[in-house]
A and B are shown apart, each in its own frame.
Chain A
Amino acid sequence: MGKQIVIDPVTRIEGHSKITIFLDDKGEVQDAQFHVTQFRGFEKFAEGRPFTEMPALTARTCGICPVSHLMAGAKACDALMAVQIPRTATHLRRIMNLAQIVQSHALSFFHLSSPDLLLGMDSDPAKRNIFGVLEQQPQMARDGVALRKFGQQIIEMLGGKRIHPAWVVAGGVAEPLTAEKREKIVAMIPDAMAIIQRTLDWYKDTFEQFRTEIRTFGNFPSMFMGLVTPHEEDEHNALLEHYDGVLRFVDASGNIVLDNVDPTRYLDHIAEAVEPFSYLKSPYFKSLGYPNGIYRVGPLARLNIIDRPGTPKADQEWTEFRALRRGVLLSSFHQHYARLVEILYGIEKIEQLLNEPDILSKHVRAFAKPNKHEGVGVSEAPRGTLMHHYKIDDNGLITWVNMIIATGHNNLAMNRGVAQVAKHYVKGSKLKEGALNRVEALIRCFDPCLSCSTHALGQMPMRIELLGPGNELLDHVQRA
Chain B
Amino acid sequence: MNPSAQKTLSVKTLQINGKDVSAREDQTILDVARENGVFIPTLCNLDGLTPVGACRLCLVEVKGSRRLLPACITQVQDNMEVSTNTETLVKYRKMILELLFAERNHVCSVCVSNGHCELQAMAQKLGVDHIRYPYLYPKLAVDASHDRFAVDHNRCILCQRCVRVCDEIEGAHTWDVQGRGTASLVITDLNQPWGTSESCTSCGKCVQVCPTGTLFEKGRASGEMTKREFLPYLTLMREERV
What residues of chain A lie closer than 8 Å to B218, measured between beta carbons?
A: 50, 52, 369, 396
A277 at the interface (CB under 8 A from B): no
Within 8 A of B (CB), among A154-173: 164, 166, 169-170
Evaluate whether A166 and B142 lie within 8 angstroms (CB atoms) in the complex, with A56-B110, A60-B110 already known.
Answer: no
A50-B142, A50-B218, A166-B223 given; 17 more Cβ-contact pairs under 8 Å: A48-B141, A48-B142, A50-B152, A52-B218, A53-B221, A56-B110, A56-B223, A57-B222, A60-B109, A60-B110, A166-B114, A169-B221, A367-B219, A369-B219, A395-B145, A397-B142, A397-B144
A145 at the interface (CB under 8 A from B): no
Shortest CB–CB separation between residue A77 and chain B, in angstroms?
A: 9
A115 at the interface (CB under 8 A from B): no
Secondary structure type dominating chain A contacts: loop
Residue of B nearest to A164 (CB): B109
Residues of chain B touching chain A, judged by Cβ–Cβ distance below 8 Å, are 109-110, 112, 114, 141-142, 144-145, 150, 152, 195, 218-224
**Once the chains bind, are A52 and B221 in contact (CB under 8 Å)?**
yes
Within 8 A of B (CB), among A66-119: none
Residues of chain A touching chain B, judged by Cβ–Cβ distance below 8 Å, are 48-50, 52-53, 55-57, 60, 164, 166, 169-170, 174, 367, 369, 395-397
**Once the chains bind, are B110 and A53 in contact (CB under 8 Å)?**
yes
Shortest CB–CB separation between residue B110 and chain A, in angstroms?
A: 5
Residue of A nearest to B140 (CB): A48
What residues of chain A lie closer than 8 Å to B152, measured between beta carbons?
A: 50
Secondary structure type dominating chain B contacts: loop
A50 to B218, CA, bound (A): 8
Shortest CB–CB separation between residue B144 and chain A, in angstroms?
A: 4
Shortest CB–CB separation between residue A111 and chain B, in angstroms?
A: 25
| Other-chain contact of B221, A48, A166, A369, A396 (Cβ < 8 Å) | A166
What residues of chain B lie closer than 8 Å to A396, measured between beta carbons?
A: 144, 218
| Other-chain contact of B222, A166, A395, A397 (Cβ < 8 Å) | A166
Evaluate whether A50 and B109 lie within 8 angstroms (CB atoms) in the complex, with A170-B221, A174-B221 already known.
Answer: no
What residues of chain A lie closer than 8 Å to B222, measured between beta carbons?
A: 53, 55-57, 166
What residues of chain A lie closer than 8 Å to B223, measured between beta carbons?
A: 56, 166
Interface core residue of A48, A49, A50, A174 (most chain B CB under 10 Å): A50
| Other-chain contact of B144, A55, A166, A395 (Cβ < 8 Å) | A395
**Once the chains bind, are B221 and A55 in contact (CB under 8 Å)?**
yes
**Once the chains bind, are A49 and B220 in contact (CB under 8 Å)?**
no
**Once the chains bind, are B110 and A50 in contact (CB under 8 Å)?**
no
